[in-house]
Amino acid sequence: MWRWAGRSTATSPTNSPPPLEHDHEYATQRDLLAHEVSVTPDSLLGAALGKTHLPVNSLHHQAANQVGAGLRVAARASDGLIEGLEHPDRRFIIGVQWHPEVLFEADAAMHRLFWAFAEAARGNDGWRDGQEPA
């Protein structure tokens, strides 16, 4: 059970990977890529990012312990920590633990995430089928 990312461990089998440090305190390097996340291939998040594995920045000290009704896990860190949630029955309910707004200009996947959000807001769901940003 996760409580404080980077400080606590999971109540899981002993063969689990060691917990990653998720609460980096980057005063000047918020864009430092701290660890990789695995994105569920058939997820909305995966469709928005156009990737299933990517390095992310990590600035959080808390994480989801339980997944709420209607939500599903869309991404995890290698230590099992939930890094992304989504509601598959809604046009665009996606939440991530990292800060894509910091990585937006340098990372095409983060750019795609914001593009997908804008397209969903316009009522265009082409991003779900791998449509490329214009």
Ranges of each domain in the chain: 35-120
**Which 8-state DSSP code applies to residue 41?**
T
Lowest mean pLDDT segment, chosen from 22-31, 79-88, 119-128: 22-31
Which of 34, 44, 100 has the alpha carbon at shortest distance from 73? 44
Give the pLDDT score at 24. 53
Give the three-state DSSP class for 54.
strand
The model's confidence at residue 44, banded by pLDDT at 50, 70 and 90, is very high
Please report which helix (H) or strand (E) contains residue 49, including its range.
helix 44-49
Give the pLDDT score at 35. 84
Is the pLDDT assigned to residue 97 strictly greater than 80? Answer: yes
Give the pLDDT score at 68. 92
Q: What is the rounded CA–CA span in Å between residue 93 and residue 133? A: 19
**Which 8-state DSSP code applies to residue 23?**
B
Architecture of domain 35-120: 3-Layer(aba) Sandwich (3.40)
